[in-house]
Amino acid sequence: VTESRTLYLKWRPTKFGDVVGQTAVVDTIRNAVLASKTVHAYLFSGPRGTGKT
């Protein structure tokens, strides 16, 4: 468990440019941040292992 958590933390994106394969989602959230129009919560859904965290 420790090893998988380490990999999780190691490869977790920290910038929008680090996110791969989610252009529409990244653009939507980036635009909200730039316009100072973020909301209290966002709901991400999809199969396990698809990077929703």
Tens-digit pLDDT profile for residues 3-46:
766 887 888 889 999 988 889 989 999 999 999 999 999 998 98
The pLDDT-based confidence of 1 (bands split at 50, 70, 90) is: low
Tokens of 7: 């990999």
pLDDT at 29: 93
Domain ranges of the chain: 1-53
CB of 29 closer than 8 Å to CB of 16: yes
Tokens of 25: 């989602």
CB of 53 closer than 8 Å to CB of 12: yes
36, amino acid identity: S
| pTM summary value | 0.67
CB of 27 closer than 8 Å to CB of 35: no
